[in-house]
Structure 1
Amino acid sequence: MDIRSIFTRWLEPLGAGETAPSAPSASSELTDPDSDTFWIMTGTKGGSRVSVTERSAMTLPAVLHALEILTGVFAMTPMIYYRREADGKTRADNSHLFTLFHDRPNDAQSIFLFKEVLLGDMLMAGGFANFVHRDGMFRPKSLSRLNPRAVQPAQFWDRTDGLELFYDAQLPDGSSGRFSRTDIWHVPGFSRDGLLGVNRVKLLDDMLGSAVAAGEYARHFWENNAQPATLLKAKGKVNPEDKAKIKFDWKRMFSGARKAGEVAVLDQEMDATTLGATNRDSQFVEVRAFNVVEVARAFGVPPHLLYELSRATFSNIEQQSLEFIMYSMMPHYERVASAATHYFAEPGHFFEFLPDALLKGDVKTRWEAYKAARESGAMNADEIRRRENLQPIGGKAGEEYWRPANMAVSGEPNPTSAPPQP
């Protein structure tokens, strides 16, 4: 039996009493605590319990806002389908792939929501996966998002064809099976093996867990009327039953909402002593501010975008915003565009994001740059107007390129120069 027949056998539906044939699969490594794949997906080694989930991580305002910023900026940047030409590239506006990724990925979601979920899955779950619906000509017509935690790559490698990927996935209708690459488009996030993306939430469990714990401490502290733990000391011996009663009475009288300022009357020569350090001594405010910086560092977001302005200055915020696009967003753009090109693009075509609008400076700086480009002959008026979403002037006024009067083409006479004097 050759390889192709084996693949066909894998993809056939099972009959009564049949079991799925075994295959070398990454999914088998997901349950092995000592495997690198288990570490990549869970961020743990040796199967230790992971306490932070995506839901609990998003209870942190810094995580929620960082995710909102990254996915929002990503979703508002258009991805264009281009055709390569001898002198550059042109938009393939008439292609169904242009419409699929620029206007309408499916009937249920707008392109903004689709791309927002795409990057969100890559950041929080390590990868994005969707089922590719095709028309009668086998062309992609729509995309349905799959739960990234219910999609596991199954790989097969041989010396002739190299690596072949299949996907064990559960579909939105509840059915599951093994699908080929023609059915599943999978985009891993930052990856160490090229197949599975690193689960950021699980990998950063310690950092996110400490931030969540600080929030939980603040909630319980204020729920208890900002009263720290108390030690009740008696000079005589107290039996266990009386200890339990005293503890119950104290918590009933002085714990919970609207009980601050109550008067405690102690008998049996008992004293009340406060335990633990104060919030000032434990630097509670500084810890919570540092957690914001840690989240910003983990997600690649400048702290000032998360409203952590303790060390921000007005002179460096614009530069940090440009660096955010260049060093944080551009890798996400290229990762998704190259994955779409590899999977969908026809020969001589490619996908590319257009972050030009995000890289524009303030109005004064932008128009000074346009002026320099216009006067040096690098751009004409219509090209500048198109960048500003304005209608072209048309004719020579909009199409001609200027050349400074004091410049000429090397080796050619300048027709505007005066004739030499005898």
Structure 2
Amino acid sequence: MTFRQKAAAIIRRTLTLLDPASWRGVFTGVSTSGKTVTATDAMTISTVWACTRLVAGTISSLPLMVYRDGAGDSRKVAKDHPLYALLHDSPNADQSALDFWQFICVSLELWGNAFARIERGAGRRIVALTPIRPDVMQVRRLTDGSIQYTYVDQGKAHTVGQDEMFHIRGFGGAPLGGLSTLSFGRNSFGLAMSTDEAAAHVYKNGLRPSGVLKTNDNQTLKPDQRADIYKYVVEPFAGDNSGKPLVLEAGLSWQSISISADDAQMIQSRQFSVEDCCRWFGVPPHMVGHTAGNTRLGSSIEQQTLGWMVFGLRERLKRIEQAVMKQLLTAAERLTVTVEFNFEGLLRADSAGRAAFYSAMVQNGIMTRNEVRRLENLPPIEGGDDLTIQSNMIPVSKLGEITSTGSEAARRSIIDWLFPEGMPAKSALYEKEDA
């Protein structure tokens, strides 16, 4: 056995949490509720659809940037790099970058794996990335330690090596593939499907009136009396007339019907299904429209949202970034080129948050005004390339010192800040300065 084969055997033993070939057969099929859970079936559950759409839509809307290292630990956007146009604009002839990454993220959320065929041109340069559905992919390790991918496209089987397949592993991180949410969550998803179906049958076939019209003497109505009640009482107060005063006569009385305990338990079961499905995707329930009892732990909706962005999105973003770095860049390029999502893209929808961020960066001398203007697609201004900081937060021992430029304005600003308007001491100080 060669050294490479020994190394591959060690990897198989230590890195594979579960053998995909084994759990793929065990965890697909019929759930304990009797429902067969496929990707199409699971996406009919509103919570699964909402969670998948939220994660995939958020990540795919973030720009994926290619940076090249510069002098002094700086870096600039490398628009001249061959991968920039593929990752940031259009990975193939049919899809935009948003479409491509949304396909990739949906694959990761449902199947735990995402695949894209690497198309190369002259000089082994990557010219396109074509996504492939994970459910048609077979992954296995060869005796020489390499990984082989086989998939079917339009009735024809294709077999390629790992140099021709871009493979992002989901949770689990095994070399042959991540763990599938559909497979491991099939019982929860099947239960949610069964609960929705049961509720639909109840309200389709069951009698659920809002109230009962009763006769005080329990007399049996004649056919013409029953027809008159429907004509003059029931039908006029349905639809838009619901809630208007009801006039009853001839011994009739109205008794409303409250929701039954069985109905209440069904509603609670459906609410629990929402929270249960959210757990599988690591999404806070309020982000998919479920706010019932969502703040019972004392944390606000804003804090929960920030927590999801830090702990939920970060892992997913790093998974994609590192897969791109490892599989699409050469070893030499990885020394000077970095691929990262621009997380600040989320601020585009928050004007107040964006303004606060820019203000803090400019006032603390981290960004120039022209750098901020470029982010806002505004033209540069004269003098906007200088770093500036706020001068009002200085030590008390330095109040008497005069700077070489703008000394008078700086001194007057400090005095205005120290002494409220209208105090005599303020005027006296100005007169002393003028003298």
Q: Same fold (TM over 0.5)?
A: yes
Query: Do the aligned partners of 2:347 and 2:353 also contact (CA within 8 Å) in 1?
Result: no
The amino acid that maps onto 1:64 is W
What aligned pairs does 1:304-315 form with structure 2 within 5 A after superposition?
Answer: 304-312=286-294
Instruction: Quickly say closer, same or farther: Cα 1:370–1:332, change in 2 above 3 A.
Output: same
Is residue 2:130 matched to residue 1:144? Answer: yes
Instruction: Quickly say closer, same or farther: Cα 1:118–1:278, change in 2 above 3 A.
Output: same
The aligned counterpart of 1:41 is 24
Q: Helix, strand or coil: the match of 1:280?
A: helix
The aligned counterpart of 2:194 is 213
- Once the two structures are TM-superposed, the CA of residue 362 in structure 1 deviates from its matched residue by 4.7
Q: For the residues of structure 2 that align with 1:214 and 1:328, how far apart are their CA atoms?
A: 28
Instruction: Quickly say closer, same or farther: Cα 1:155–1:278, change in 2 above 3 A.
Output: same
Q: Which consecutive residues of structure 1, in runs of 5 or more, have no partner in the other structure?
A: 7-22, 27-34, 228-276
Q: 1:283 aligns with which of 265, 270, 285?
A: 265
Question: Normalising by structure 1, what TM-score?
Answer: 0.70
Percent of aligned pairs sharing the same letter: 27
What aligned pairs does 1:294-313 form with structure 2 within 5 A after superposition?
Answer: 294-312=276-294
The aligned counterpart of 1:60 is 45
Deviations 1:194-243 (A, max 9, x none): 3211110110111111110001111222232448xxxxxxxxxxxxxxxx
- Once the two structures are TM-superposed, the CA of residue 157 in structure 1 deviates from its matched residue by 6.2
- Once the two structures are TM-superposed, the CA of residue 341 in structure 1 deviates from its matched residue by 0.9
Q: Helix, strand or coil: the match of 1:283?
A: helix
Paired residues, number: 336
Instruction: Quickly say closer, same or farther: Cα 1:377–1:147, change in 2 above 3 A.
Output: closer
The amino acid that maps onto 1:51 is T
Q: Which consecutive residues of structure 2, in runs of 5 or more, have no partner in the other structure?
A: 12-17, 209-258, 408-435
The aligned counterpart of 2:147 is 165
Instruction: Quickly say closer, same or farther: Cα 1:47–1:304, change in 2 above 3 A.
Output: closer
The aligned counterpart of 1:327 is 311
Instruction: Quickly say closer, same or farther: Cα 1:325–1:416, change in 2 above 3 A.
Output: same
- Once the two structures are TM-superposed, the CA of residue 121 in structure 1 deviates from its matched residue by 0.7
Query: Do the aligned partners of 1:40 and 1:197 also contact (CA within 8 Å) in 2?
Result: no
Q: 1:155 aligns with which of 141, 147, 154?
A: 141
Q: Helix, strand or coil: the match of 2:262?
A: coil
The aligned counterpart of 1:376 is 364
Q: Helix, strand or coil: the match of 1:154?
A: strand
Tell me the C-alpha RMSD between the 2 structures: 3.7
The amino acid that maps onto 2:24 is M
Query: Do the aligned partners of 1:80 and 1:354 also contact (CA within 8 Å) in 2?
Result: yes
Q: For the residues of structure 2 that align with 1:202 and 1:168, how far apart are their CA atoms?
A: 21
Q: For the residues of structure 2 that align with 1:198 and 1:327, how far apart are their CA atoms?
A: 19
- Once the two structures are TM-superposed, the CA of residue 371 in structure 1 deviates from its matched residue by 3.2
- Once the two structures are TM-superposed, the CA of residue 101 in structure 1 deviates from its matched residue by 0.8
**Max radius of gyration: which structure?**
2
Q: 1:399 aligns with which of 383, 386, 390?
A: 386
Deviations 1:115-166 (A, max 9, x none): 11101011112211121111122211112222212222221466xxxx4222
- Once the two structures are TM-superposed, the CA of residue 305 in structure 1 deviates from its matched residue by 1.4
The amino acid that maps onto 2:41 is S
- Once the two structures are TM-superposed, the CA of residue 113 in structure 1 deviates from its matched residue by 1.0
Query: Do the aligned partners of 2:29 and 2:36 also contact (CA within 8 Å) in 1?
Result: no
Q: For the residues of structure 1 that align with 2:41 and 2:28, how far apart are their CA atoms?
A: 21
Query: Do the aligned partners of 1:128 and 1:148 also contact (CA within 8 Å) in 2?
Result: yes
The aligned counterpart of 1:132 is 118
What aligned pairs does 1:96-245 form with structure 2 within 5 A after superposition?
Answer: 96-156=82-142, 163-170=145-152, 172-191=153-172, 193-226=174-207
Q: For the residues of structure 2 that align with 1:340 and 1:65, how far apart are their CA atoms?
A: 27
Q: Helix, strand or coil: the match of 1:143?
A: strand
Deviations 1:99-123 (A, max 9, x none): 0111111111111111111010111
Q: Helix, strand or coil: the match of 1:129?
A: strand
Query: Do the aligned partners of 2:78 and 2:84 also contact (CA within 8 Å) in 1?
Result: yes
Question: Normalising by structure 2, what TM-score?
Answer: 0.68
Q: For the residues of structure 1 that align with 2:303 and 2:376, how far apart are their CA atoms?
A: 22
Q: Helix, strand or coil: the match of 2:291?
A: coil
Query: Do the aligned partners of 2:67 and 2:78 also contact (CA within 8 Å) in 1?
Result: yes
Q: For the residues of structure 2 that align with 1:389 and 1:383, how far apart are their CA atoms?
A: 10
Q: Helix, strand or coil: the match of 1:179?
A: strand
Query: Do the aligned partners of 2:28 and 2:186 also contact (CA within 8 Å) in 1?
Result: no
Q: Helix, strand or coil: the match of 2:124?
A: coil
Query: Do the aligned partners of 2:136 and 2:151 also contact (CA within 8 Å) in 1?
Result: yes
Q: Helix, strand or coil: the match of 1:117?
A: helix
Query: Do the aligned partners of 1:385 and 1:392 also contact (CA within 8 Å) in 2?
Result: yes
Query: Do the aligned partners of 1:105 and 1:142 also contact (CA within 8 Å) in 2?
Result: yes
